[in-house]
């Protein structure tokens, strides 16, 4: 047991330290923040809203009576966003929350194989039939109508990116097909990015295409021999750049914490969903999008829409427990996590105790103080100081015995793709000593020694901070700042490909 003299000496030291820090007990002495950041429960998906919105969108289409064959496939679009029906491009939706943009690919239900099988047959020649009005329509062509040319139709599908299914049918009394378009064929071959059934044959024709001449009756269009052909085998779509596949395909969507909202897409397009995640914007408590779950909604047996749900926390198959509501069934659910180039950005790797402890370095990070400084860059195991979990980093003298700036740096250089754009994201908190003492707080984010961003001034909660950088292949990230009692805590850092 310590002697009374030792206890008095420790007490005197603590009084001296608290006096130098404006009466605040420093972090190194396990002082409590002037205002402890609020603990916010991460939100989970509103599955009822998703199901309700699925009943409001109409993504069914097919070749119109006056559409020209071989038109380019249109880029994937957003048909609903967070419960509001819309019709917007992926780039516009992403740009609304982010300046980072990239090219858009058309949707991919899966990689194609070359063999097809018949899903449904057309009615016999001479009987009126109907063509598809279905989701994920891409484009159409006409093939030689000397025969019912299935092979030509499926061979053309192989040339259309995203095509996994074709609907082949004759369309009679269409003046454009008969006399205007150069192919002079009425055998239509429509490409889709999803596999459909005969229950979706809803276009029976009945439109006037020929001009009215006098009082003559204008013949109306009609359709015959409408059949459907699908690829026999599908593989997983390519994983988007900067992501990794976590699970899928399964029949359950994630019902996980960290939910940021959802979008409906007009095609099953993992690249488009990744772009929406990259440009989703920031949740003030959770940060940027780190994960997305894409799945197909089948309503009453009909493929209806393609859901892209976004999260700031990475989920896995254990939370893929939403199998649908009512007539809506979840299918083809896949989860993708954003690759993090930063090792242990949450400082959870430091666990030298079970309650309270700190260090100037450990396996994943190094803290340095300027000459004459003392513990100006440290790493804490203490949940009270952390944004999430138990770990955090501190810039500023842990015991408050100097006003020098510290620096923290990953123990190893950050591995990046040379020339690629990245974004550094962190949460920082400069509220430990209160607004007045924390007013001079300042942290610079350095990338290979150059300042790329930072934060200054007091804040009462952990604040999201972001900086855009370019990879060189092997990069040095540093955070420099802190001047006790203007301390700054740092937590939950990531480096994502932008």
Burial (CB count <10 Å: 0-12, 13-18, 19+), residue 220: middle
* Residue 104's pLDDT band (cuts 50, 70, 90): very low
* Residue 61's pLDDT band (cuts 50, 70, 90): very high
Average confidence (pLDDT) over 88-112: 59
- Pair 451, 480: CB distance under 8 Å: no
What does the longest C-alpha to C-alpha distance in the chain come to? 117
Domain with CATH 2.60.120.260 in the chain: 343-497
Q: According to the model, what pLDDT value does residue 22 have?
A: 60
For the record, the structure tokens of 204 come out as: 């029976």
Backbone angles phi, psi at 216, to 5 degrees: -65, 145
- Assigned CATH class of 343-497: mainly beta
For the record, the structure tokens of 106 come out as: 């058309």
| pLDDT tens-digit map of 366-398 | 999 999 999 999 999 999 999 999 999 999 999
Q: Among the residues of 303-354, which ranges form H helices?
A: none
Cα–Cα dist 386/429, whole Å: 9
Q: According to the model, what pLDDT value does residue 323 have?
A: 97
CB-based contacts of 128, cutoff 8 Å, min separation 6 = 204, 205, 222, 223, 224
Q: Which helix (H) or strand (E) holds 330?
A: strand 328-338
Average confidence (pLDDT) over 277-303: 95
User: The whole model's pTM is what?
Assistant: 0.89
């Amino acid at each position: 047991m310590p002697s009374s003299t030792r206890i008095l000496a420790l007490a005197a030291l603590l009084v001296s330290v608290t006096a130098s820090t404006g009466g605040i007990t420093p972090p190194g002495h396990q002082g409590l923040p002037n205002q402890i950041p609020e603990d916010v429960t991460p939100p989970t998906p509103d599955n009822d809203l998703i199901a309700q919105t699925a009943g409001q969108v109409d993504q069914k289409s097919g070749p119109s009576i006056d559409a020209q064959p071989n038109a380019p496939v249109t880029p994937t679009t957003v048909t609903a966003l967070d419960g509001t029906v819309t019709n917007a491009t992926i780039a516009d939706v992403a740009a609304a929350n982010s300046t980072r943009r990239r090219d858009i690919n058309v949707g991919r239900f899966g990689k194609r194989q070359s063999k097809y099988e018949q899903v449904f047959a057309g009615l016999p020649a001479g009987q009126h039939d109907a063509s598809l009005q279905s989701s994920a329509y891409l484009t159409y062509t006409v093939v030689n109508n000397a025969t019912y040319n299935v092979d030509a139709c499926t061979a053309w599908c192989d040339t259309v990116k995203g095509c996994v299914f074709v609907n082949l049918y004759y369309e009679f009394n269409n003046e454009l097909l008969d006399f205007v378009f150069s192919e002079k064929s009425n055998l239509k071959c429509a490409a889709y990015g999803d596999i459909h059934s005969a229950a979706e044959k809803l276009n029976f024709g009945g439109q006037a295409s020929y001009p009215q001449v006098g009082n003559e009756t204008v013949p109306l269009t009609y359709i015959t021999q409408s059949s459907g052909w699908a690829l026999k085998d599908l593989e997983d779509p390519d994983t988007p750049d900067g992501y990794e596949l976590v699970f899928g395909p399964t029949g359950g969507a994630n019902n996980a914490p960290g939910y940021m909202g959802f979008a409906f897409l007009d095609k099953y397009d993992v690249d488009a969903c990744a772009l929406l995640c990259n440009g989703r914007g920031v949740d003030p408590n959770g940060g940027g999008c780190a994960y997305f779950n894409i799945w197909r909604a089948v309503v009453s047996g009909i493929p209806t829409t393609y859901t892209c749900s976004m999260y700031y926390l990475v989920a896995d198959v254990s939370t893929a427990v939403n199998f649908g509501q009512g007539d809506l069934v979840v299918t083809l659910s896949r989860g993708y996590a954003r690759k993090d180039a930063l090792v242990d950005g949450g400082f959870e790797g430091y666990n030298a105790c079970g309650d309270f402890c700190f260090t100037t370095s450990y396996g994943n990070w190094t803290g340095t103080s300027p000459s004459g400084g003392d513990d100006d860059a440290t790493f804490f195991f203490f949940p009270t100081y952390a944004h999430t979990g138990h770990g955090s980093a501190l810039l500023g003298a842990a015991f408050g015995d100097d006003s020098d700036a510290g620096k923290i740096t990953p123990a190893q250089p950050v591995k990046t793709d040379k020339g690629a754009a990245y974004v550094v994201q962190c949460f920082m908190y400069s509220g430990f000593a209160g607004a007045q003492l924390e007013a001079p707080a300042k942290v610079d984010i350095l990338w290979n020694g150059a300042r790329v961003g930072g934060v200054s001034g007091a804040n009462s909660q952990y604040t999201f901070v972001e900086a855009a950088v370019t990879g060189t292949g092997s990069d040095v990230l540093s955070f420099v700042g802190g001047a006790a009692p203007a301390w700054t805590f740092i937590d939950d850092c990531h480096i994502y490909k932008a």
